[in-house]
């Protein structure tokens, strides 16, 4: 249900890329998701990224993606920015999700490039332009070459950042040279790092903040890394980044959203029983 909500303005900072919690019947678990959002707000998280890779976007129906966004917006109560990921293979679906996000009170939208079919840069440009025009919200290009199959060079990113309404970039890539070049050429754009394990190096390369999966597990560490970086205490920040990376190394292996949901089995957190659509299907078919 679309309702009027107060939207926080898009800002820089530490954003949690939220997982999607499901109940035992395979439905979106509103209680668990609200618990997680409110817990992260108490810990100082500065924004939420909804329906992205961590949220298993491409395993959800369009209706489920809209439902999850509305739940998060209600739980966040306009206290921090909420970015809705609307990427899809179809521009029609992406535009529908973007218009819904605008109507619901999201702060911004983000989108992976369309994938599977080989689109040239002109087609991809039109895709982002259509999303920006339809939503009227700031748009973040979601650069994630490992999964999108599209490895943009910084010159291609520069062109996409010139689209009216495109406010910045979520750079989920280990190529920090590209990030640094993008920053130099686009000083007024918002640049988020998307790989938690290189957050500190990304800050050095020009990132304004991060959108990360493991922010759900250890938000304080990322907030402290940012504070120490601003203060110029890089040595202390490096020690915290090493702690982060030890956790990420322990999580490595298997399909990440499920392992993240399992790790969220903290006292009092109903997300402990969360299970992805993919694994629910496997359980029903083979167990």
Q: For residue 13, which of 161, 244, 230 has the smallest C-alpha distance?
A: 230
Beta-bridge mates of residue 16: 48, 212
Kind and range of the H or E element at 140? strand 139-143
Q: Answer yes or no: is 54 a known binding residue.
A: yes
Q: Answer yes or no: is 112 a known binding residue.
A: no
Active site residue: 66, 128, 170, 189, which one?
A: 170
Distance CA 207, CA 209 (A): 6
Active site residue: 49, 127, 128, 142, which one?
A: 142
Please name the residues in contact with 21: beta carbons below 8 A apart, sequence gap of 6 or more: 28, 29, 32, 33, 36, 261, 270, 271, 274
Distance CA 278, CA 276 (A): 5
Nearest-10 Cα torsion for 132, 138, 143, 147: -70
Q: Answer positive or negative: Cα dihedral of 152, 254, 279, 272.
A: negative
Distance CA 19, CA 36 (A): 9
Catalytic residue at 170?
yes
Catalytic residue at 6?
no
For the annotated binding site, the residues are: 54, 211
Annotated binding site for pyruvate: 54, 211
Task: Give the residue numbers annotated as catalytic, written as ranges.
Answer: 142, 170
């Amino acid at each position: 249900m679309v309702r009027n909500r107060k939207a926080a303005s898009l800002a820089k900072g530490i954003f949690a890329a939220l997982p999607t919690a499901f109940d035992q019947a395979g439905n979106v678990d509103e209680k668990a998701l609200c618990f997680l959002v409110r817990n992260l707000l108490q810990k100082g998280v500065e924004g939420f990224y909804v329906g992205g890779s961590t949220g298993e976007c491409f395993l959800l129906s369009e209706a489920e993606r809209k439902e999850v966004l509305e739940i998060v917006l209600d739980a966040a109560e306009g206290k921090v920015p909420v970015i809705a990921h609307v990427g899809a293979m179809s521009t029609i679906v992406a535009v529908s999700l973007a218009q819904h996000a605008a109507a619901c009170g999201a702060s911004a939208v983000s989108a992976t490039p369309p994938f599977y079919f080989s689109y040239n840069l002109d087609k991809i440009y039109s895709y982002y332009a259509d999303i920006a025009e339809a939503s009227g919200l700031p748009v973040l290009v979601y650069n994630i070459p490992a999964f999108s199959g599209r490895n943009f060079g910084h010159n291609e990113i520069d062109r996409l950042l010139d689209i009216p309404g495109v406010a910045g970039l979520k750079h989920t890539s280990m190529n920090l040279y590209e990030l640094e070049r993008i920053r130099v050429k686009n000083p007024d754009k918002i640049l988020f790092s998307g790989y938690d394990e290189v957050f500190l190096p990304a800050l050095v390369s020009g990132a304004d903040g991060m959108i990360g999966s493991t922010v759900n597990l250890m938000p304080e560490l990322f907030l402290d890394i940012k504070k120490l970086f601003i203060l110029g205490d890089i040595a202390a920040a490096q020690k915290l980044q090493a702690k982060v990376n030890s956790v990420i190394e322990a999580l490595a292996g298997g399909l990440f959203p499920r392992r993240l949901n399992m790790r969220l089995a903290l006292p009092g957190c109903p997300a402990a029983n969360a299970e992805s659509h993919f694994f629910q299907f496997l359980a029903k078919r083979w167990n």
